[in-house]
Amino acid sequence: MEMKPVNNTSLKNNKNFFAWFKYKWSNEPLFSTAIALIIMVILQTLVLGFDYDSVGSWFQSWTNNWINILRNNAGIGIVALGMTFVIMTGGIDLAVGSTLVATGAFAMLLLDTGTRGLLGMVGMSGLPAFVVTVILVLLFGYLLGSLIGVSITKGKVPPFIATLAAMMIFRSVTQHFTQGYNTTVPAEFLQIASFRMGDYMIMPIIYWAIIAYILYYVSKRTTFGRQIIAVGSNERAAKLSGVNVEKVKVRVYALMGLLVSIAAIIQVSRIGSMDFSNAGRGMEMDAIAAAVVGGTSMSGGRGFILGTVYGMLIIAVMNNLLNLFGVPPFLREAFKGLIVIAAVLLQKKEKTS
Amino acid sequence: MIIEMNSIRKSFGSNDVLKDVSLSLEGGEICALLGENGAGKSTLMNILGGVHQMDQGSITIDGKSQQFSTPAQSQEAGIAFIHQELNLINDLPIYENMFLGREIKTKRGSLDLERMFQETKEMFEKMNVDLDPKTMVRDLDSSYKQIVEICRAMMTNASIIIMDEPTTSLTDREIERVFTMMKTMKDHNVGIIFISHKLNEVLQVCDRYLVLRDGNLVAEGNVSEVTTNDLAHFMVGYNVRTESLLREKELGEEVLSVEALTYNHTFKDINFSVKAGEVVGVTGLLGDGRSELFQSIFGADDISSGKIYLNEKEVKITSTTQAINEGIAYLPRNRKENAIIGDMDIMENASIVTWPKFSKRGVIDQKKQQDTFEKQRKTLRLKMGKLTDSITSLSGGNQQKVVLAKWLASNPKLLILDNPTQGVDVGAKEDIYDIILKLADENIAIVVLSSEAHEIIRVCDRALVMYHGVIQGEVKKETMNEHNIMSLATGGQLT
Ligand SMILES: Nc1ncnc2c1ncn2[C@@H]1O[C@H](COP(=O)(O)OP(=O)(O)OP(=O)(O)O)[C@@H](O)[C@H]1O
Ligand SMILES: [Mg+2]
């Protein structure tokens, strides 16, 4: 194709825009995802209706709607970030939902105001107890993730199998040890997620944003982040370039566990309880969907933290739209499926060999 | 059959790779396509093979105009293509790979595995290839993969075969076999386009030559009228050095020595040492175990017994990370599988080894990384676009230079180079030899693994010749010649 210089300025601008758009579309992996997100948001705004008479109150309800969307998806959004790394190494983590329950149960066991509260037993309460809880729960999540990582690397169990097993084990053990007990979490603990800034309950959103930023930085700028890509793209070459492949993998699964435990703390501190038999079910699929919609390749090597945030938002906004349209709940999963397929088709087209 | 490519033009973005190139080939002739790294040879062939589309120009076969927008169309027109980089499916056995895209079916429409197996076996017998067609491709060494690819192309009954550097990981013996095969095909009126940087091969099998430089055809003629020096001159535009590189120098302390190193049946009871400032060659035929030996020393694979000493201290190297920290660098052979990380850009591929060194608390110092690479980029005369371009946008030889750059950046004490000049043009080869000798002068211990005897003879002080996993003998100075190397490599003794 030949691009001839054009003299007419207005035409030139026009052409430049299309050339720019085409260039971005085929060269920037996140461009199409971002466009899709913008279209979704515009659509959503249209559906919500723009009120010319009272812009103020329209904006108020628009904001509230968004805060709700973001807050409801913060936990899973955080998990999806970890899933992106896992998938980038060429692996998968099916155990996130069960890890959520295990770490959540551990948090509640530590905090319980009844007779079984572990920290209560050693006479700890209030802020110190909360700090200790958070630290221990994060460590526990990290540990569970490391266990999975070690079984994959040292035990040479394929990730799908290792995490499938972990998924069954973690939940079942948790349910066994928590059956019949009602735990209550101290009301102050709920501040972690429910603290209000002004009128807004946005702590989970802030956590999500901070973690997304950190992980974005990690993926772009650190040895660890870049080594993840190397491992997922060509494991043998990574190894022969001095990358400690096993260590990278263990750390990725450990990080996944850590992020799930953060999601667990957010969930426990939002509603004060957790349903151990149902919480986190299907979470792995939602996290994978967000990553895939965001441009992460299931075969490893290619993935984008920012893309996963977009992917999560696309799915969330779509859910919101379906809600607004009154689509029956059972049909909603079908739409999610369609979005995933559409995203992958889009990315196929843009992939330059 | 006569095939003609007329006034072909092709650019990638602002990079004009082919500027008006024409080529013609008749059945029954072997034509060499030569040129520096990045001259556009693979691109031209990719156009003929339907992989890339030309911007301008035309292709005609027997006077009929053709348009290849997919590789399948090109194949249908009777063109078989052996790509520069290996292109086999690791998870299928050899015989299924041989029939990819043109599977034999039974009457009921299922795959006729039995026939596919039989035909592959016959082909291997004809080619004298000692391989079980049922072996999974994953388990093959890269040289065997290359052989499988060549056999596959030859089995297609194509009237034109494009061979893009088919011999880079083969040793003389297999190369001979391939040449015999090529001559047979030629007698059957098949036309062959042969790309290679090994100019003596060109003189041996080709009838005609074409030389590309900077996207233009700069020379063509009959091979019988030229020497390798002439061809080299056409390619790079100046006279390529041919004089000996041998030098006398003082050697330093022992840097590496190994004692009775063994791993299953791959290599057995290996003893040798390398001194600072010394360039030691290791050579042999296919299956000699030299790459496996050095990958184990580098910590990428296990050893079952034996000892490794670095600077006269015993070390147990369990990971490549540790090996690098000990000052060892290993440039692997077969870059596509062992060295190139397709999802990363040029800059990252060139710096992956030094990330830990160039980072503070895990954060990579981009500036340092870039400065180091910029320096190497000049010494290696890398032909490339932006630092952030994908590594796969580089020509094969330039990818190899990037791989070399990353190891030079690690400042090793012991540099192991496994087939370092794979796919590198004649000019750049000399540059690499210069680098090797310069590093040796700086007292770095160097091991060069190569299957090309003349490469070993040119740069090494002495060489170990391996045969089926053992060191069959050593050649140095007066005894270092192709005859001696060959006789040791085939299991004989020095006479
Ligand atoms: N897919 C691509 N995208 C962008 N640039 C490309 C692509 N393929 C090749 N090039 C560029 O085209 C030029 C010619 O490359 P080509 O692979 O044809 O060289 P070559 O003559 O085969 O070299 P070598 O001997 O190293 O294999 C190089 O500058 C290369 O960077
Ligand atoms: Mg090439």
- Tens of pLDDT, residues B143-200: 888 889 888 888 888 899 999 998 888 888 888 888 988 898 899 899 999 999 999 8
Residue A200, classed as helix, strand or coil, is strand
**Dist CA A197 CA A190 (whole Å):** 14
| Nearest residue (CA) to ligand 1, atom 8 | B393
CATH, range B254-489: 3.40.50.300
pLDDT tens sequence across A264-307: 999 999 988 889 999 999 999 999 999 999 999 998 999 999 99
Beta strand B313-315 with B305-310 is antiparallel
The per-residue pLDDT for range A187-223, each reduced to its tens digit, is 888 888 888 888 888 999 999 999 999 999 999 999 9
Determine whether the shortest distance from the Cβ of B406 to ligand 1 is under 6 A.
Answer: no
Q: Which residues contact B192 (CB under 8 A, 6 or more apart)?
A: B29, B30, B31, B160, B161, B162, B163, B182, B185, B186
Q: What is the pLDDT of residue A149?
A: 97
pLDDT at position B140: 87
Looking at the CA of residue B52, tell me the nearest atom of ligand 1.
1
- Asked if B406's CB is within 8 angstroms of A242's CB, the reply is no
Instruction: Give the count of beta carbons closer than 10 Å to the beta carbon of residue B67.
Output: 11
Q: How far is B220 from B264, CA to CA, in rounded Å?
A: 51
| Cβ of residue A311 closer than 8 Å to a chain B Cβ | no
What average pLDDT score do residues B491-495 get? 82
pLDDT digit string, tens, across residues B41-93: 999 999 999 999 999 999 999 989 998 999 989 988 999 999 988 888 888 99
Question: Does A16 reside within a domain?
Answer: no
Ligand nearest to the CA of residue B38, numbered in listed order = 1
Residue A157, number of CB atoms within 10 A of its CB: 17
Residue B28 banded pLDDT, cuts 50, 70, 90: very high
CB B295 within 8 A of CB B360: no
What is the Cα–Cα distance from A188 to A210, expressed in whole angstroms?
Answer: 23
Query: How many CB atoms sit inside 10 A of residue B40's CB?
Result: 26
Alpha carbon A175 to its chain centroid, in Å, reads 25
**C-beta B83 within 6 A of ligand 1:** no
Reported confidence tier of residue A13, pLDDT bands at 50, 70, 90? low
- Among A230, A237, A302, the residue with its CB nearest the CB of B338 is A237
Euclidean distance between CA atoms A112 and A120, whole angstroms: 7
Question: Does residue B53's CB lie within 6 angstroms of at least one atom of ligand 1?
Answer: no
Min distance A216 CA to chain B CA atoms (Å):
13
Q: Is residue A110 part of a domain?
A: yes
- Looking at the predicted structure, is the pLDDT value of residue A20 above 80? yes
pLDDT at residue B105 in the model = 82
Round to whole Å and give the CA distance between B189 and B2.
Answer: 11
Residue B423 in contact with ligand 1 by CB distance below 6 A = yes
pTM of the model: 0.88
- pLDDT for the residue A1: 37
Q: What is the largest CA-CA distance in chain B?
A: 73
Mutate which of A217, A229, A241 to disrupt the B interface (most B C-beta within 10 Å)?
Answer: A241
Q: Whole-angstrom Cα distance, residue B270 to residue B417? A: 18
Q: Three-state SS for A211?
A: helix
B394 close to ligand 1 (CB < 6 Angstrom) = yes
Atom index in ligand 1 nearest the CA of residue B399 equals: 26
Pick from B340, B356, B363: which is nearest to A237 by CB? B340
Model pLDDT, residue A197: 83
Percent of chain B with pLDDT over 70: 100
Query: Would the pLDDT of A48 be above 50?
Result: yes
Q: What is the pLDDT of residue B245?
A: 74
- Taking the CA of residue B87 and the nearest CA in chain A, the distance in Å comes to 15
Q: Is residue A167 part of a domain?
A: yes
Edge-to-edge order in the sheet of strand B30-35: B79-82, B160-164, B191-195, B30-35, B208-213, B216-222
Q: Residues of B with CB below 8 A from A224's CB?
A: 362
What per-residue confidence (pLDDT) applies to A126? 83
CB B280 within 8 A of CB B274: yes
Q: What is the pLDDT of residue A348?
A: 62
pLDDT at B491: 87
Q: How much is the pLDDT for B276?
A: 94
Please, what is the average pLDDT of chain B? 90
CB-based contact B329:B393 (threshold 8 Å):
no
Residue with more model confidence, B249 or A109: A109
Q: B204 vs chain A: nearest CA distance in angstroms?
A: 35
CA within 13 Å, CB half, A140: 22
B231-265 in b/e form (b: 16+ CB < 10 A) is bbbbbbeeebeeeeeeeeeeeeebbbbbeebbbee
What's the total number of domains in chain A? Answer: 1
Say what the pLDDT of residue A252 is.
Answer: 98
Nearest to B479 by CA among B459, B456, B454, B462: B462
Half-sphere CA count of B254, side-chain side, radius 13 A: 11
Which domain range does residue A232 map to?
68-352
Q: What does the pLDDT look like over A80-96, one tens digit per residue? A: 999 999 999 999 999 99
Edge-to-edge strand list for the sheet holding B470-476 = B328-331, B414-418, B445-449, B279-284, B462-467, B470-476
In a domain, A7, yes or no: no
What fold characterizes domain B2-236? Rossmann fold (3.40.50)
Model confidence band, residue A12 (pLDDT cutoffs 50, 70, 90):
low
> How many A×B Cβ pairs under 8 Å?
82
pLDDT of residue B309: 96
Computed over every residue of chain A, the mean pLDDT equals: 88
Q: For ligand 1, what atom is nearest to the CA of residue B400? A: 26
Return the pLDDT at A350. 46
B458 lines ligand 1 (CB under 6 A): no
Separation of first and last alpha carbons in chain B: 50
**Which residues in B292-327 are b (16+ Cβ under 10 Å) and which e?**
bbbbbbbbbbebeebebebbeeebebebbbbbbebb
Q: Looking at chain B, which residues constitute the CATH 3.40.50.300 domain(s)?
A: 2-236, 254-489
Residue A351 has pLDDT above 50, yes or no: no
Residue from B11, B320, B407 whose CB has the most chain A CBs within 10 Å, to mutate: B320
Q: For A241-249, what is the mean pLDDT?
A: 96
Q: CA separation (Å) from A124 to A105, A131, B294?
A: 18, 11, 58
Residues from chain A that touch B323, judged by Cβ atoms under 8 A, are 242
In the structure, what pLDDT confidence band is assigned to residue A14 with cuts at 50, 70 and 90?
low
Most confident region among A319-333, B207-221, B239-253 by mean pLDDT: B207-221
Q: Chain A within 8 Å of B10 (Cβ-Cβ)?
A: no
Nearest to A242 among B324, B341, B363 (CB): B324
Q: Is B356 in contact with A226 (Cβ distance < 8 A)?
A: no
Does pLDDT of B106 surpass 50?
Answer: yes
Please indicate, yes or no, if residue A38 is contained in any of the structural domains.
no
Reading phi first (left if > 0) and then psi (alpha if -120 to 50, else beta), residue B287 is in left
- Band (pLDDT 50/70/90 cuts) for residue B342 is very high
Poorest-confidence range of A97-111, B230-244, B458-472? B230-244
Q: Is B216 exposed, middle or buried (0-12, 13-18, 19+ CB in 10 A)?
A: middle
Q: B213: Cβ–Cβ under 8 A, 6 or more apart, which residues?
A: B35, B36, B39, B234, B235, B236, B237
* Nearest CA residue ID for atom 22, ligand 1: B42
Contact map slice: A 279-308 vs B, CB within 8 A: 301-302
A67-83 tens-digit pLDDT: 999 999 999 999 999 99
Residue whose Cα lies nearest atom 29 of ligand 1: it is B38
Given a cut of 90, whether residue A115 has pLDDT beyond it is: no
CB pair distance less than 8 Å for B320 and A242 = yes
Q: Confirm or reject contact between A205 and chain B (CB < 8 A).
A: no
Question: C-alpha distances in angstroms, B182 versus B2, B70, B122, B191, B382?
Answer: 18, 26, 17, 9, 33
What is the largest distance, in Å, between two alpha-carbon atoms of chain A?
A: 82
**Chain A contacts of B338, Cβ < 8 Å?**
236-237, 240
The pLDDT of residue A10 is above 70 = no
The reply to whether ligand 1 has any atom less than 6 angstroms from the CB of B383 is yes
Chain B nearest C-alpha distance from A95 (Å): 27
B354 CA to centre of own chain: 24
Compute the distance between CA of residue B319 and CA of residue A245 in angstroms, rounded to an integer: 10
Q: Which of A258-262, A319-323, B404-408 has the lowest mean pLDDT?
A: A319-323
Tell me how many degrees the CA angle B202-B206-B207 measures, rounded to the nearest 5.
Answer: 135
Single-letter residue type at A270: R
Pocket lining: B427 vs ligand 1, CB cutoff 6 Å: no
Give the separation between CA A59 and CA B400, rounded to whole angstroms: 58
Residue A141 and residue A82: Cα distance in Å, rounded?
12
pLDDT attached to residue A2: 38
Q: Given a cut of 60, is residue A317 above it in pLDDT?
A: yes
Residue A5 has pLDDT above 80, yes or no: no
Please tell me the predicted confidence (pLDDT) of residue B449.
96
Report the relative pairing of strands B56-61 and B2-12 from DSSP bridges.
antiparallel
Angstroms from A223 CA to nearest CA on chain B:
6
**CB contact set of A14 (below 8 Å; sequence gap of 6+):** none
Ligand 1 centroid vs B23 CA: distance in angstroms?
A: 18
Q: How far is A229 from chain B (nearest CA, A)?
A: 7
Residue A3 confidence (pLDDT) above 60: no
Q: Is the pLDDT of residue A26 over 60?
A: yes
pLDDT score of B306 more than 90: yes
> Among residues B52, B185, B77, which one has the least CA distance to residue B126?
B185
Buried b or exposed e, range A95-114, using 16+ CB within 10 angstroms: bbbbbbbbbbbbbbbbbbee
Helix, strand or coil, per DSSP, at residue A213: helix
The three-state secondary structure class of A300 is coil
Residue A21 lies in a domain: no
**Among A337-351, B209-223, B291-305, B370-384, the least confident range:** A337-351
Q: Is B340 on the interface with A (CB under 8 A)?
A: yes
Predicted confidence (pLDDT) at residue B331 exceeds the cutoff of 90: yes
Is any ligand 1 atom within 6 A of the Cβ of residue B161?
no
Kindly state whether residue A227 falls inside one of the protein's structural domains.
yes
Whether the CB of B10 sits within 6 Å of ligand 1: no
